[in-house]
Amino acid sequence: MQLRLTSRCWKLLCALRHERFHTAAQHCKGRTGTEHLWLMRHLKDPYVKAAKVECYRCRSAFKLLEINKKHKILRPGLRVLDCGAAPGAWSQVAVPRVNATGTDPSSPVGFVLGVDLLHIHPLEGATFLCPADVTNPKTFQRIMELLPGGKADVILSDMAPNATGIRDLDHDRLISMCLTLLDMAPDILHPGGTLLCKIWAGSRSHWLQKRLTEEFQSTRNIKPEASRKESSEVYFLATQYRRRKSSVKQ
Ligand SMILES: C[S@@+](CC[C@H](N)C(=O)[O-])C[C@H]1O[C@@H](n2cnc3c(N)ncnc32)[C@H](O)[C@@H]1O
């Protein structure tokens, strides 16, 4: 069964994040079977427990850890743009791997810029631009100003619009957001750079994949172990960006 995060599930998650179990229980009271199921599954999830133990802000950290372990997309000195960064777990993974705090004096120092519609609590070594809509041209300008040299070496997108529960509509909206990132890429992604983006699989996935294949030397589909089996979520990892003429109006 597909259990996509609806706004009520988000409220439950926020309550849990802040250890407000009573509030979470209240949210649960009188809610639908699906929401109850979602909460129960969340409380039992081994990645949720591991995130608590390892002090990650949410379980999604393990998806990036897994992808990075296999594909080595983050290394010291790289500039990372983390789109849809709240609550900040992917940035937590990126900061030490690109040496954004300069902890390793023998390695180049990287940079992490996180952007989200929601507020993100500060994180040492990361710069957050929030609340901000990545798809808004004004945000785009700020991103270029904040990135050292105006470019990123890696664009991460774990962005997800508020799900309506209408599968095709949610799929279309997420694909459009990824396409907007691709339109921004000529201006902000360094040639040879990497794009990792989440989609919800559906009828337009191949459009995005086709464009990625045209604009990057290599593209692959990834379903991390940490991604719930019943979720239609998959990640596209595109590497070795070939520069394309800018299409973003400035
Ligand atoms: C699954 S969460 C990301 C979790 C994050 N990767 C982490 O590890 O903490 C998806 C995020 O995308 C954000 N988002 C959705 N649409 C956005 C947009 N247009 N601009 C910026 N952020 C957006 C949401 O606010 C939400 O916080």
**Which residue's CA is the closest to the ligand 1 atom numbered 26?**
84
Pocket (CB within 6 angstroms of ligand 1) = 57-58, 60-61, 84-90, 115-118, 133-135, 158-161, 177
pLDDT at 150: 97
Segment-wise mean pLDDT, segments of 10 residues, the chain, 250 residues: 49 48 51 77 88 96 98 98 98 98 98 98 98 96 98 98 92 97 97 98 95 97 95 97 66
Transcribe the chain into DSSP letters: ------HHHHHHHHHHHTT-HHHHHHHHTT--HHHHHHHHHHHH-HHHHHHHHTT-SSTTHHHHHHHHHHH----TT-EEEEES-TT-HHHHHHHHHTTTT--STTS---EEEEE-SS-----TTEEEE-S--TTSHHHHHHHHHHSGGG-EEEEEE---PPP-S-HHHHHHHHHHHHHHHHHHHHHHEEEEEEEEEEEE-STTHHHHHHHHHHHEEEEEEE--TTS-TTS-EEEEEEEEEPP-------
pLDDT at 40: 80
pLDDT at 243: 74
State in Å: Cα 82 to ligand 1 middle: 9
pLDDT at 19: 43
pLDDT at 36: 80
pLDDT at 24: 47
Catalytic residue list: 198
Domain annotation for the chain: domains and CATH numbers: 7-44 (no CATH), 61-241 (3.40.50.150)
pLDDT at 246: 57
pLDDT at 21: 41
pLDDT at 180: 96
Measured distance CA(7)–CA(133) in Å, rounded: 18
**Which residue's CA is the closest to the ligand 1 atom numbered 21?**
116
pLDDT at 12: 52
State in Å: Cα 14 to ligand 1 middle: 14
pLDDT at 32: 76
